[in-house]
């Protein structure tokens, strides 16, 4: 489940019309949501307030296995429509299998120019600081700067800068990090089918080139994705293939939406140099409730996401289970990870996370 600050950042992107799915880093977002989900550890509490449409503070506390916490503040130049934890659309709070239509992202781009988001958080104990600055330069360009400063570590703060340019058909990113002097270029290109053909799906090809200015090393990765379009009757499916020839890693994944409630995924990872491999499977099941919109017709009832159940099993990472939902005014997430090959102590982690904001 997204924490409150992550939720605000995604609301900022959504309300400003910025499409995260069009970036090369999110080429495998469907399989990552079903297989690489985060499970809570110990007991975590999140409390956030909505004093003004622009300013929002947030506080966290982790009671188990160790006591720690953080305090953070977020400010946006434009008003963000953030609902409370009791009324927020639950599907906006969870990292899930989602279909983003390009037509839903074309609004409000012009009015988003020169707007920005500022975020800062301090962690206790240790007083580690992290910050973020996002600014929309134009309807197609955005810059993002993140920084982390740990007073217990020598040296200057670690700063990462990104310049993103998205025109819809293709998206490019230029990035630089100060800690290792890593300079990177990313690009994703969407292929359109001929006008005479029936558009049943979309191909996308992406690549990444990076160079370490300090250690004089370079790298390359590339990826291919095919998605079916949901508007032509067939259930949405997605196939991805990624290759990093430098480290010798390749990965293929297949995601399919079986029904309105169930989506499943399989992924195969293989190392060209060591011949090590891993096969993992996962699924996501949605529970929904019907809400009457106030009209008398039966067909006026609408279904909204009420809960989400995720499971993953793999030869390398073992088993992971998670259940996310809402109880009255509080959002919660319960999860565990286990190593089924360890019969004496199979449970690795177990935890619950509760979040309230209003």
Structure confidence at residue 158 (pLDDT): 92
Beta pairing, strands 318-327 & 330-338 = antiparallel
Phi/psi of residue 138, nearest 5 degrees: -150, -175
Amino acid 152: pLDDT: 84
Where in the sequence is the domain holding 30, given as residue range(s)? 4-357
Long-range contacts of 178-185 (CB under 8 A, 24+ apart): 179/155, 180/212, 180/214, 180/215, 181/212, 181/213, 181/214, 182/210, 182/211, 182/212, 182/213, 183/210, 183/211, 183/212, 183/213, 184/208, 184/209, 184/210, 184/211, 185/209, 185/210
Q: Please name every residue paired with 61 in a beta bridge, in sequence order, or none if there are none.
A: 45, 69
Round to the nearest angstrom and report the end-to-end CA distance of the chain.
17
Q: What is the distance between the alpha carbons of residues 38 and 3, in angstroms, rounded to a whole number? A: 12
Cα separation of 338 and 351, whole Å?
12
Provide the pLDDT for residue 232.
Answer: 59
Q: What is the pLDDT along the chain (358 residues), one digit of tens a residue?
A: 899 999 999 999 988 888 888 999 999 999 999 999 999 999 999 999 999 999 999 999 998 778 899 999 999 998 888 889 999 998 889 988 887 655 444 444 555 678 899 999 999 988 899 999 999 999 899 999 999 998 888 878 899 999 999 998 999 999 999 988 899 999 999 987 665 455 578 899 999 999 998 888 889 999 999 988 766 567 789 999 999 998 899 999 999 998 889 999 999 999 999 999 999 999 999 988 766 544 434 443 656 778 899 999 999 889 999 999 999 899 999 999 999 888 888 999 999 999 999 8
What does the alpha-carbon distance between residue 305 and residue 100 come to, in Å, rounded to a whole number? 17
Q: What is the CATH number of the domain that holds 32?
A: 2.40.160.10
Number of structural domains found in the chain: 1
d(CA 252, CA 330): 37
């Amino acid at each position: 489940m997204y924490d409150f600050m992550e939720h605000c950042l995604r609301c900022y992107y959504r309300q400003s019309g910025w499409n995260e799915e069009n970036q090369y880093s999110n080429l495998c977002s469907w399989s990552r949501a079903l297989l690489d989900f985060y499970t809570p550890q110990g007991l975590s509490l999140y409390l956030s307030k909505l004093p003004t449409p622009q300013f929002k503070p947030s506080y966290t506390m982790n009671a188990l296995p160790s006591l720690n916490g953080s305090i953070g503040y977020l400010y946006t130049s434009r008003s963000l429509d953030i609902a409370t934890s009791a009324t927020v659309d639950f599907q906006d709070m969870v990292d899930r299998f989602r279909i983003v239509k390009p037509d839903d992202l074309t609004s409000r781009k012009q009015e988003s120019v020169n707007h920005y988001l500022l975020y800062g958080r301090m962690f206790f104990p240790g007083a580690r600081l992290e910050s973020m600055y996002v600014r929309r330069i134009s309807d197609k360009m955005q810059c993002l700067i993140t920084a982390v400063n740990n007073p217990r570590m020598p040296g200057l703060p670690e700063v990462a800068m990104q310049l993103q340019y998205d025109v819809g058909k293709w998206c490019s990113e230029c990035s630089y990090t100060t800690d290792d002097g890593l300079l990177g270029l990313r690009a994703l290109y969407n292929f359109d089918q001929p006008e005479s053909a029936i558009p049943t799906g979309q191909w996308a090809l992406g690549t990444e080139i990076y160079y370490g200015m300090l250690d004089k090393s370079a790298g390359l990765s590339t990826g291919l994705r095919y998605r079916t379009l949901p508007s032509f009757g067939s259930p949405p499916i997605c196939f991805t293939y990624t290759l990093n020839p430098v480290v010798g890693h390749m990965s293929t994944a297949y995601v399919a939406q079986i029904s309105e409630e169930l989506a499943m995924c399989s992924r195969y990872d293989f190392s060209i140099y060591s011949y090590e491999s891993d096969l993992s499977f996962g699924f996501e099941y949605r529970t929904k409730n019907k809400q009457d919109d106030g009209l008398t017709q039966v067909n006026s009832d609408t279904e909204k996401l009420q809960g989400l159940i995720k499971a993953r099993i793999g030869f390398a990472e073992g088993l992971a289970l998670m259940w996310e939902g809402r109880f009255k005014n509080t959002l919660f997430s319960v999860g565990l990870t286990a190593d089924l090959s360890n019969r004496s102590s199979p449970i690795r982690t177990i935890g619950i996370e509760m979040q309230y904001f209003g």
